[in-house]
Structure 1
Amino acid sequence: MPVVQLRDATLDDVAAIAAIYRPYVLTSAATMELDAPDETEMRRRLSDTHARGLPFLIAELDGQVVGYGYASPFRPRAGYRYTVEDSIYLRTGCAGHGIGRQLLTAIVAESRKAGARQMVAVIGGDNRASVAMHGALGFVEVGVLHGAGWKFDRPQDITLMQLEL
């Protein structure tokens, strides 16, 4: 497993964050977003996450940003205020080396510190690696929303996993 350094994301990381996310939007069902957000939008998302007191972390390897992860509100209504959703994205070619697991472990720990009580993983498409990673960290599959997503001109299943924090 490579030794990565995890740190809080800053506005200086926005270009790297947008570059990592773009291929997921354009080529995978890991996200149901259809248009890759630009740096202005990613800056807004980062600032919003920090303003909520939630973690947004960067993984660096040899000084290069190789991934990022964050927690966001699961739903906007106040009754969900103690539930967060995790998101983990890695630079192309960096999957399978434990970097995502390191990021997710830190996101879970930081979300606990922020007062979250539940974490939900909303996993798009046939993403077995993400399901396995979440399962290895104690997440339990709580359901599949069959065909709830639509991307690449076909329905996409959404797997829901949950971890009590």
Structure 2
Amino acid sequence: MPIRPATPADLPAIAAIYDEAVRTGTASFELTPPGVAEMARRHAAIVEAGYPYLVMEEAGTVPGYAYASAFRPRIAYHHTVENSIYVAPAAQGRGIGRALLEALIADCEARGFRQMVAVIGDSANQGSIGLHRVCGFHHVGVLADTGLKFGRWIDTVLMQRPLGPGADGVPEEADLSFSG
């Protein structure tokens, strides 16, 4: 199944996948699913900022998508990205998430990013935790009880993996100046 950059034509399918995740799951801490227009705004902002936004295509449908975005807004985080992966419930368990994450990692490495962070909603989300572990992420921490959804407190699991050379060396274009 081909993995390619997402286009505006994919946004209704992306919005539908995310809608289901928001309404029924704890991977996202959003409580109200955004519509197609908001997902289009988010997609455009991510792509315009230079991050990859990918979809898998299967028989003319989109069973899953993945993107990277800024980990934090401060400039010193410029070489670190956060990943997001969502797969339609009917398509889960078929390797789609892994294929998307592997493609996203490769794309981020090609763009020169050095670290990828997974911010996973819910310590009970063993599918996502296992997927990230298989793709080379290691557990770096748990932020206990950081989200309140479905009437219960939910943890945030943090996982991380180096991209390309990781922290070995400093990219030539890195701004190491300090202007207090």
Once superposed, what is the RMSD of the aligned Cα atoms? 0.8
The 4+ residue runs of structure 1 with deviation greater than 3 A are none
Secondary structure in 2 aligned to 1:93?
helix
Shift of 1:62: 1.5
Percent of pairs with identical residues: 48
- Partner residue of 1:147 out of 134, 141, 145: 145
Higher mean alpha-carbon deviation, 73-82 vs 98-107, is at 73-82
Once residues 5 and 115 of structure 1 are traced to their aligned partners in structure 2, the CA distance between those partners, rounded to angstroms, is: 23
Q: Which stretches in structure 2 are left out of the alignment for 5+ residues?
A: 164-180
Which of 84, 107, 112 is the equivalent residue of 1:110?
A: 107
- The alpha carbon displacement at 1:139 in A equals 0.1
| Equivalent in the alignment of 2:20 | 23
Q: Quick check: 1:64 aligned with 2:61? A: yes
Where does structure 1 lack aligned partners over 5 or more consecutive residues?
Answer: none
Deviation of 1:36 after TM superposition, in Å, equals 0.4
Q: Secondary structure at the match of 2:15?
A: helix
Secondary structure of 1:119's partner? strand
TM-score (norm 1): 0.96
In structure 2, give the amino acid aligned to 1:121.
Answer: A
Q: How far 1:135 moved relative to its partner?
A: 0.3
SS at match of 2:28: coil
What amino acid is the match of 1:84?
V
Matched residues in 2 for 1:152 and 1:8: separation?
Answer: 33
Amino acid at match of 1:164: P
Distance across 1 between alignment mates of 2:136 and 2:111: 19
The alignment partner of 2:108 has SS state of: helix
**Aligned match of 2:126:** 128
Distance, in Å, in 2 between the alignment partners of 1:24 and 1:123 is 13
Equivalent residue for 2:91?
94
**TM score, norm. by length of structure 2:** 0.88
Q: Distance in 2 between matches of 1:58 and 1:122?
A: 20
Give, in whole Å, the separation in 2 of the partners of 1:114 and 1:152: 38
How far apart, in 1, do the equivalents of 2:32 and 2:7 lie?
23
Of residues 40, 43, 61 in structure 2, which corresponds to 1:43? Answer: 40
Separation of aligned partners in 2, 1:54 and 1:102: 18
Q: Match for residue 174 of structure 2? A: none
CA distances 1:46-65 after superposition (whole Å, capped 9, x unpaired): 11111111110011112211
SS at structure 2 position matched to 1:115? coil
| Counterpart for residue 158 of structure 1 | 156
In the TM superposition, residue 106 of structure 1 has moved relative to its aligned partner by 0.5
1:52 aligns with 2:66: no
Deviation per residue, 1:2-53 (Å, 9 max, x gap): xx21011001111111001001101111110111011111001111111111
